[in-house]
């Protein structure tokens, strides 16, 4: 019988604004929905500079990881959607700062725009 799916929620990240959960535990795997630079109280930080937006989006994603009882060392894959390839170096720097010595598999995907006019979205997979 397959492992049950368990939704993961935390007040340390913004509430979902659509038909999804912050994270979904599937057996040993945790899939974190794309997190934007939105404060846990719902304030969209589209006015912040890229580094602040990246730090907040990553912090939101990591809050979901922690809510599932895991830490950064359990993250196997990260995907960062970034508006404009010019932000790639700053995205890499923010990611390195948040992840320290841990180096999961990762993709940075340049996109033309994101919801709410923000500059970055971060999704994670942890085990």
Query: Quick count: other Cβ atoms within 10 Å of Cβ 14?
Result: 21
Put simply, whether the predicted model's pTM sits higher than 0.85 gets the answer yes
Q: What is the mean pLDDT of each run of 10 residues along the chain (127 residues)?
A: 86 96 97 98 97 98 98 98 96 97 97 97 98
CATH class, range 5-126: alpha beta
Listed by start position, the domains of the chain span 5-126
26, 70, 92 from 31: Cα distances, Å: 8, 12, 21
In this prediction, residue 1 carries a pLDDT of 53
- Round to whole Å and give the CA distance between 107 and 93: 14
pLDDT value of position 52: 98
């Amino acid at each position: 019988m397959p492992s049950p799916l368990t939704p993961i929620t935390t007040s340390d990240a913004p509430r979902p604004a659509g038909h999804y959960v912050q994270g979904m535990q599937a057996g040993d795997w945790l899939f974190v929905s794309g997190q934007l630079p939105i404060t846990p109280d719902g304030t969209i930080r589209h006015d912040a500079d890229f580094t602040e937006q990246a730090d907040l989006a990553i912090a939101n994603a990591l809050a979901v990881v922690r809510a599932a009882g895991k830490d950064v060392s359990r993250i196997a894959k990260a995907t960062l959607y970034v508006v404009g390839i010019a932000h790639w170096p700053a995205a890499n720097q923010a990611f390195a700062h948040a992840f320290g010595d841990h180096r999961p598999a990762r993709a940075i995907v340049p996109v033309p725009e994101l919801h709410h006019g923000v500059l970055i979205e971060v999704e994670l997979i942890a085990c």
